[in-house]
Chain A
């Protein structure tokens, strides 16, 4: 794949994956050398921030050309390296999901940080707090986002970027949840784990001239029509075709055109995602399905011979969460209504 800069009228959406467990990131060029970074991930073997490395390879002026860095949700697999991005992208705004009760939200971050600051374990709270600290010292503009906001535009190109979530109901629920989190997870020996379904993530809708894309950001479908994807499906009127990395029949039927480009990153913890059943479902909807790396059987991390014996004796199953770099890049001419997405692959990415 060539690491060439796109021309001013060429839009780019690049998905970087790490094999699951180490995160994902999406890089957007929305015209005229305006760039945005959505979430971040690192190479765990080097701690290099992968979206940063990609943009440096392209030769982007990070301090000037990156307009915003958006944290869709601060799960471990979406936030690693975000502080490195904010340090380099000095003129970028920092966007994340709105908390109505901002002080309570910050208090929760502060308390969770007190809990994990001594730990050598990686923690999304540590990373998020570092981002807030950098934003404070570098006077970075913070934008708390929620559904139906326009966060970027280049009007003469017909380019608009909107948020489709989180919904008002989700934000109200989040206020209550923070109070409960302080009570329930304020115990120092307990790590806060993500709650399911994820309805707090920021989904983006990109209108790039006549072309559109949706960045799904792990948003899930809940039973509540006022939250998650059902809120978007019932309330949003702006979305049409593009790319999506979540699954619900209505998304494909109501929001997307036939056989859109779909990009996935795998999740290789626990049972692993996507499942074969999910891939079958996707393949029935599109013949342009890409994944940043295919699921390979996980194995035990290589250690000396005694290790395997020891784990066998004690009946413990232990497997490495494998790092697998993959990149799926798609570019399209914003000014040409008939232009088709040009998809390029790098690393372990492949077509499914």
Chain B
């Protein structure tokens, strides 16, 4: 863990975040716990951990710091943080499913870690999804995929993590925004 990046004397703290307010951190939308440090009134992410198929949390994944501040709810101090057990995401993508055939999922991807505009195409087995995601997946499903290395008690392991994007239904505000825009375009454009 790059705790060396933290300013001297600052201890990371464990928080829980509200996924709705976390859209700018695309690859972490489903993160349940997040490790942050605080400077003044700003909070910066150090790492996060993910829930696995058995409902257990993974080790912390290291992320670059600082990140933009976000709205989170504090759940404890220093709990669960272990500098011998962590993960590093070497590559991260956002993608969407283009076909599902006999358990093989094809998807289009974009490398979000490198902010690439080059498209990639991926093929993976539906069994690579956790049970909950496998039930939900359909053509058009948006997902996040990261691969990298995890470290557990000094042992390095490779990991791959695919997680479907989950967001709540449209809010009243979003529906109103869409309606307002549609009315404005309908009324103000020079239609033939």
Which A residues contact B (CB, under 8 angstroms)?
A: 21-22, 44-45, 47, 102-103, 106-107, 109-111, 113-115, 118-122, 129, 132, 135-136, 139-144, 185-193, 269-270, 298, 301, 303, 306-307, 309-311, 313-321, 323
Contacts and interface: CB of A to CB of B under 8 A. Distances in A.
B131 interface: no
B160 A316 contact: yes
Contact of B190 (A44, A114, A139, A192): A139
7 contacts: A21-B119, A111-B178, A189-B142, A190-B142, A193-B140, A315-B128, A316-B124
Interface size band for B: 35 or more
Contacts of B139: 193
A188 B147 contact: no
Given A317-B122, A320-B120, A189 B164 contact: yes
Contacts of A303: 91
Contacts of B167: 188-189
A95 B128 CA distance: 44
Given A121-B142, A142-B192, A270-B98, A316 B122 contact: yes
B190 A141 contact: yes
Contacts of B180: 110
A107 B182 contact: yes
Interface centre among A139, A190, A320 (most CB of B within 10 A): A190
Nearest to B157: A313
Given A45-B117, A120-B94, A321-B120, 4 more contacts: A120-B110, A193-B140, A318-B122, A318-B123
B140 A144 contact: no
Interface SS of chain B: mixed
B122 A191 contact: no
A236 to B, nearest CB: 22
A314 B160 contact: yes
Interface string B108-134: 111110010111111111001000000
Contact of B121 (A144, A188, A269): A269
Interface in B133-192: 138-142, 147-148, 158, 160, 164-170, 174-175, 177-186, 188-192
Contacts of B166: 189
Given A103-B186, A188-B169, A190-B142, A114 B174 contact: yes
B169 A44 contact: no
Contacts, number: 161
Contacts of A191: 96, 140-142
B173 to A, nearest CB: 9
Interface of B: 23-24, 26, 90-91, 94, 96, 98-99, 106, 108-112, 115, 117-125, 128, 138-142, 147-148, 158, 160, 164-170, 174-175, 177-186, 188-192
A293 to B, nearest CB: 15
Contact of A121 (B96, B122, B141, B168): B96
B189 A142 contact: yes
A127 to B, nearest CB: 14
B182 A314 contact: no
Contacts of A188: 165, 167-170
B24 A118 contact: yes
A141 B189 CA distance: 8
A4 to B, nearest CB: 32
Given A120-B112, A141-B192, A110 B186 contact: no
A120 B174 contact: no
Interface centre among B117, B170, B191 (most CB of A within 10 A): B117
Nearest to B182: A106
B185 to A, nearest CB: 5
B21 to A, nearest CB: 11
Contacts of B190: 135, 139-142
Contact of B23 (A102, A111, A118, A318): A118
Contact of A120 (B115, B138, B186): B115
A44 B184 CA distance: 32
